[in-house]
């Protein structure tokens, strides 16, 4: 019996002996469809970065066009569902589904209970999108993206992070009334300090540049994890430097702290691969040398001064910013254990209801979620978030050392974004989280399923 399906052995050119089994050629149509799925996913990522630029600078008075652009990345991401599956669900994906389904049920029950106290139709659409629609799409598209080269995803994001870093530095130096410093909502006042303007990059508001800072750190760590050459490691360091720069340009403390924590946590993955770590550090020194040659040191110093200025002016301490949301969550649970109105905490919902964009009760993610869906919705969200981390942990079974490092970097990134990154109330963060999650499971998260399939085909193992 032929134990290796769809494989043939070719003779070695030097010895004439049979060598390793090699894969037969795929059908051209199948190759085109899988590459189309990859292209669609990369396009969705591109629109996640650029839709804010279109809304600010191309269609500032676009009306319905602006709303279409707002959901454009979701629509593109969802079109992958119309393409055929290329693989069977992996153990990692099954692990995620075991948490996704009950989590969505709890969120739905919490939303229904909260509706008894109030309902905002626009805000509810945004909340359902972030809590249910995007996670379900991510779950369904993974088998359609089988074999996605993770280097493509990280490399493309590096380009966009570098673009936003360069743009952010320029915005920081320009006057706040310059057209490059416009927000998507022209009525919102641009924030300016003595050191310069709080930059937005291509995004609609300040928060977007902070989010892509963290995305850039993930891209750099992932690229160095799966790199096949020193040039790819150098590109990974470029992503790290640009990601750090985006955080400074947004004049926000959170991205800088998160970046340091992610890098420190990721280094643990190299405890058994010291040689790979050393090669990565060598390219890091090369990257820093290039940064000095290009004259970036004064620019970073200037941006750092702006960060210190804002930190000194702020009335809240680091502990309040980092851990204050947990105390606020308890306050919200005491005030509204069954929610206080579904959709009422979304800024878009507030704008629809009052004509002014702003926070309703809290700024932090978790207490706002409690006000939206109560205790049931909060538990459901934690269940889904736990499923994400567990799926990536399951994907490490049978994975190569580089893939394990990429999966750890993704766990760090998603853990931060799901707990502190405002995924529910930041439309840009939500798309980054679920598109990257799908890309990682499709690219490096199927090792355990391939091992399982080989065991099924060879029962003697």
Cα distance between residue 9 and residue 367, in whole Å: 60
What is the rounded average pLDDT for all residues in the chain?
83
| Structure tokens given for 335 | 């005030």
| Structure tokens given for 316 | 């809240």
Strand, coil or helix: 59: coil
| Residue 195 maps to a domain | yes
The residue segments making up the domain with residue 389 are 88-454
pTM of the prediction?
Answer: 0.86
pLDDT above 90: residue 145 = yes
pLDDT above 50: residue 453 = no
pLDDT above 70: residue 190 = yes
**211: nearest Cα among 224, 220, 201, 225:** 201
End-to-end CA distance of the chain: 15
Residue 458's pLDDT is 36
* Count of structural domains within the chain: 1
| Residue 6 maps to a domain | no
Confidence of residue 288 (pLDDT cuts 50, 70, 90): confident
Give the tens place of pLDDT for each residue, 97-111. 999 999 999 999 999
Cα distance between residue 192 and residue 113, in whole Å: 42
| Residue 71 maps to a domain | no
| Residue 390 maps to a domain | yes
Count the neighbouring beta carbons within 10 Å of the beta carbon of residue 279: 15
| Residue 231 maps to a domain | yes
Q: Are strands 192-193 and 196-197 parallel, antiparallel or unpaired?
A: antiparallel
59-63, 291-295, 381-385, 427-431: least confidently modelled range: 291-295
CA 280 to chain centre: 23
Give the tens place of pLDDT for each residue, 363-417. 788 999 999 999 999 999 999 999 999 999 999 998 888 899 899 999 999 999 9
10-14, 158-162, 196-200, 300-304: least confidently modelled range: 10-14
Alpha-helix runs per DSSP H in 6-90: 28-53, 64-78
* Mean pLDDT, residues 38-52 taken together: 96
| Structure tokens given for 305 | 């001064």
Greater pLDDT, 16 or 407: 407
Give me the phi and psi of 15, to 5 degrees please.
-105, -20
75-89, 188-202, 364-378: least confidently modelled range: 188-202
| Residue 24 maps to a domain | no
| Residue 368 maps to a domain | yes
| Residue 2 maps to a domain | no
């Amino acid at each position: 019996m032929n134990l290796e399906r769809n494989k043939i052995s070719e003779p070695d050119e030097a010895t004439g002996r049979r060598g390793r089994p090699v894969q037969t050629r795929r059908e051209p149509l199948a190759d085109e469809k899988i590459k189309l799925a990859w292209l669609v996913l990369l396009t969705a990522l591109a629109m996640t970065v650029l839709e804010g630029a279109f809304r600010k600078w191309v269609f500032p008075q676009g009306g319905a066009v602006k709303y279409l652009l707002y959901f454009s990345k979701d629509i593109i991401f969802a079109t992958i569902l119309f393409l055929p599956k290329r693989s069977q669900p992996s153990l990692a994906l099954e692990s995620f589904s075991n948490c996704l389904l009950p989590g969505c049920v709890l969120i739905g029950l919490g939303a229904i209970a909260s509706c008894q106290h109030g309902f905002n139709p626009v805000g509810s659409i945004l909340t359902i999108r972030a809590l249910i629609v995007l996670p379900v799409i991510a779950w369904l598209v993974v088998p359609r993206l089988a074999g996605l080269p993770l280097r493509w995803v990280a490399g493309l994001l590096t380009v966009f992070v570098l673009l936003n870093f360069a743009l952010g530095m320029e915005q920081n130096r320009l006057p706040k009334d310059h057209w490059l410093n416009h927000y998507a909502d022209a009525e919102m006042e641009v924030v300016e300090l003595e050191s310069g303007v709080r930059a937005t990059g291509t995004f609609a508001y300040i928060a977007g540049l902070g989010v892509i800072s963290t995305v850039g750190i993930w891209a750099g760590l992932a690229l160095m994890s799966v790199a096949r050459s020193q040039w790819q490691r150098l590109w990974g360091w470029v992503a790290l430097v640009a990601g750090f720069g985006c955080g400074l340009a947004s004049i926000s403390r959170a991205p800088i702290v998160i970046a340091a924590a992610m890098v420190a946590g990721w280094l643990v993955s190299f405890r058994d691969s010291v040689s790979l770590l050393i090669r990565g550090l060598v390219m890091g020194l090369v990257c820093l040398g290039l940064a000095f040659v290009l004259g970036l040191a004064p620019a970073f110093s200037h941006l750092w001064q702006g960060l210190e200025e804002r930190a000194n002016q702020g009335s809240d301490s680091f502990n309040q910013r980092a851990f204050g949301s947990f105390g606020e969550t308890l306050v919200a649970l005491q005030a509204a254990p069954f929610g206080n109105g579904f959709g009422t905490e979304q800024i878009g919902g507030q704008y629809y209801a009052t004509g002014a964009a702003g926070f309703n009760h809290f700024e932090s993610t978790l207490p706002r979620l409690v006000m939206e869906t109560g205790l049931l919705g909060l538990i459901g969200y934690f269940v889904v978030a736990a499923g994400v981390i567990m799926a990536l942990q399951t994907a490490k079974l049978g994975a190569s050392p580089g893939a394990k490092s990429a999966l750890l970097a993704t766990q760090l990134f998603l853990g931060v974004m799901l707990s502190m990154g405002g995924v529910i109330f930041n439309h840009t963060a939500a798309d980054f989280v679920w598109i990257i999650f799908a890309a990682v499971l499709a690219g490096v998260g199927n090792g355990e399923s391939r091992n399982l399939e080989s065991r099924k085909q060879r029962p003697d193992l």
